[in-house]
Structure formats: structure tokens, C-alpha cells
Amino acid sequence: MKRKLIAAIGIAGMMVSIGACGDSGNEGSDQGADTKELTVWLTVDAQNNWPELVKAADDAVKAEHPGIKINHEYYGWPDKNAKLDAVLATDKVPDVVEMGNTEMLSYMVKGAFAPLDASKFENSDQWLDGLKASVTYEDKTYGVPYYAGGRVGNWRTDVAEAAGIKTTPKTYEELTSDLDKIQAKEGDKFSAWYQPTRDWYAAMSFVYDAGGSIAVEEGGQWKANFSSPESLKGLDEFKTVIDKYMHGDKTKDESDRYIVYGQGNAGMIFGNAWEGATAEAPENDKTGKLKGNLESFVVPGPSGENLPVFLGGSDLAVPVKSDAQTVAAEWINALTGAKGQKGLIEKGNLPNNKTDLATLKDDPATVVPATAAESNWFVPMAPGWGQVEKAQILQTMLQSIGTGKKSVEDAAKEADAAIDKVINTK
């Protein structure tokens, strides 16, 4: 469910045109209430996995607006934003666009999306914290959470049992004790916990668990926070995990983690909830042993609480230049409201709100991802965060720590300095 933040290249220029739109997208606007046509951009996830939910949203809007024509365009994640950037500089924009939740910030900062009245959307008072943060900038709402995806632990029960372990760990002490046993049993060519060093989503879970953060806001300005005692404590623990249990390439990121897991040289991963199932698919399971031997669990944190997870997912937004903002908001509500959430849950997604999330804890099939998602964090909603991510400052810091090129303190100090140069830049 990871969505890479779009680089802000070219957005500043295209916003010159957007800025001329004035206040047409203000909250409460009835702009486009009588529109005869609506254009919706979604990713291929919707086209391939829940077309009937999209049709249901269409039908709900058509019932309220007889004769309206609804057009759909579908894009792959790597292609969508380049196309969006191009059309935002013109007068022919989509009325609804799907965004990865980490993609929202750069567009909100530049004024690309219309502000929305959150109270008009079902369950908005119960939106998951991480998703609510992703659509909020300077106390205004610019999008609606669509669905979520969390991160969980996943390990091989056959490997655990061979080391004398019968159940998944409930505390961090149990987790590390179990991993020690697995590591001793399997030897130093095996990763008891395959944890890619550059995986900043996992590393930041340790930082936030320790009470630290990527950055803090003080007096309207953001300042990097990796050198704080709390953040250093989290980074130290992440390094301990890498040093003790990760015996693979320590310059890698998490993009092919499920493939590495499927090769059979790892006992555990901490990643997207879908990665375990993908690893055991016949085309990825090179051992022939993963099917039926993988179990997901909520990863306990060193703090004594569940390890907070990055909450990925998608949001839906209305471009500020849309001539159909009112009906666009109605369509979004039809897809993301109670009926839509029920359908999205049935398709294996996490809902956008706490009320529905709580119900998933009663189902053995969904209790792990639902419980893990309750404790979550999100990136700093700072105007220059896009530049931080584009420069891969966090990944560079983590690789320096994991490979031993720099001490935790020196790498954190260097990252803080790099972040502070750009994080407040629009």
C-alpha cells in the first residue's frame, strides 16, 4: 500500500494558472450543483478489484442528478501524477482524483485542491488519525480518506516451531527472545528478521514508539527532531534489530521484500499486510514451504505498547479548477460512505474510520491488521516535506546507520541539518 510522494517539480509553475481561480472551491460552495457531466480519475486498483463499488457510487449520484454523465479514467500509480500535473495547468481538469495519502501534501500546499466541508462526509468525525492528517493542511480539509492499509509482522511458523516457539509474541521481550532462538537455530546466513535498512516506514515506527518524531512544529515553523533523546532511542533500537537479525544486503529498501521473503532465507518481516500472502504465491515462493506456514501478528514495541505503524492508503480530492465541485463531493461521499466502506472492507482493505475498524477486531481474519492500525503515525504536514522525501534524506540516514558508516548520533545530526534546509519551503 506504499505510495511514493510525487516530486514537486513543475507544480509551482502550473499553480500560476490555478491561483487565478479565486475562491470558487471554498467550503460550502454550490459550484457545479447543476453540472451535466462528471469526470473521475481513479487508479487501476478500483478498476480491477471493486468496479461494482464505483458503479454503485455512480448510480447514487445519477439518482440525485438525472441525466448526468459520469466519465471514468484509470491510471497506474507511476503514471497518474505526471498526467495530473499536466492537466492542472489547463482548464480541463478531472472533478475527482484519487491520490496516495503521502501524495496529498505537495498539492495542498500549492493550492491544487478545493477545500471541502468535512462534516458533509459520512464518519468524518471518526476518520483514522493518520488518514485525517493526510487530507488536512493549515486547519482545512482538502480531501476525503478512501481506504487504508496497515503494516503487520509476519513470520514462518515452521521456522519458529523448529526453534521451540509455539505462539506469536505478545511483548517486545518475547519477540526479541524468539528471534534470538531462531537466529541461533538457523545460523548467520539467515535473517531471523529481514528488515531492509532503508525502510524508513519501519524505522520511524521505532522512533514514534520511543516518543520521538521526524520533525516538530514550533511557532509556525517546522524543525527536524532526530537528534532529540527520544528519537535517538528509537533509532538505536532500529539499529539493534538490523545488527542482530538482518543478515541480508544492508543497502536495500523494502520494494522487493516479499520477493526476498519468498526465497526462504528469512524468518520474519514487518511490512504491508499483503506482503505475506504475496510471498507465498507460487510465483514467489521458491521454497514450496510458505503456504500454510505464515502467520501475521501485531508487532509489540519496546515501549510496551503496540509498535505504531505508518498508515498508508488513498484519498479522494477535488481539483480547485473543477466546475462540478458540489457533485464531485457527492460522488466521493457515495464511494467513501458507510455502504462503500462495507464493500471496501469485503475486498480486503481497512476502512477509513475508527467505527468500522473496531468491528474488524471481532473477526479472526482481520483482527491483526485492524489492531495494528489503531496505533499509527503520519509524516509531518510541513510545506517542504515533499522535498525531504524527494531527497531521500531518511533513507540516507538509515543506510549510514545500518551499514555502520556513521554513528546514530552523527547520522541523525546530518539528517536534521538537511531536513531543516527545506522543510519550511513551499
Cell of 34: 447543476
Low-confidence stretches of the chain (pLDDT beneath 50): 1-26, 28
Kindly tell me the sign of the dihedral angle through the C-alpha atoms of 106, 213, 297, 244. positive
- Is there a single domain that holds both residue 53 and residue 188? no
Using a 10 angstrom Cβ sphere, with 0-12 exposed, 13-18 middle and 19 or more buried, the burial of residue 401 is: buried
- Is there a single domain that holds both residue 174 and residue 250? yes
- Is there a single domain that holds both residue 286 and residue 337? no
CA–CA distance, 79 with 138 (Å, rounded to integer): 29
Residue 348: count of CB within 10 angstroms of its CB: 16
- Is there a single domain that holds both residue 140 and residue 208? no
Cell of 336: 467513501
User: What's residue 426's pLDDT?
Assistant: 87
Tell me if 375 is assigned to some domain. no
Enclosing H/E stretch for 265: none
Closest residue by Cα to residue 385 from 196, 251, 200, 143: 200
Tell me if 109 is assigned to some domain. yes
User: What's residue 30's pLDDT?
Assistant: 61
- Is there a single domain that holds both residue 357 and residue 403? no
- Is there a single domain that holds both residue 292 and residue 160? yes
- Is there a single domain that holds both residue 185 and residue 44? no
Tell me if 378 is assigned to some domain. no
- Cα torsion at 81, 84, 89, 94 (round to 10°)? -160
User: What's residue 27's pLDDT?
Assistant: 55
Domain end marker among 351, 366, 381: 366
In the sheet where 312-317 sits, what is the strand order? Answer: 69-75, 37-43, 96-100, 312-317, 144-149
Range of the domain at 349: 11-149+312-366
Tell me if 3 is assigned to some domain. no
- Is there a single domain that holds both residue 291 and residue 357? no
Tell me if 167 is assigned to some domain. yes
Tell me if 372 is assigned to some domain. no
This prediction's pTM: 0.87
Structural domains counted in the chain: 2
User: What's residue 2's pLDDT?
Assistant: 35
- Is there a single domain that holds both residue 250 and residue 356? no
- Is there a single domain that holds both residue 359 and residue 243? no
- Is there a single domain that holds both residue 188 and residue 260? yes
Tell me if 46 is assigned to some domain. yes
Residue 221 belongs to a domain with what CATH number? 3.40.190.10
Residue 339: count of CB within 10 angstroms of its CB: 15
User: What's residue 18's pLDDT?
Assistant: 39
CA–CA distance, 415 with 426 (Å, rounded to integer): 19
Tell me if 42 is assigned to some domain. yes
CA–CA distance, 353 with 221 (Å, rounded to integer): 30
- Is there a single domain that holds both residue 16 and residue 71? yes
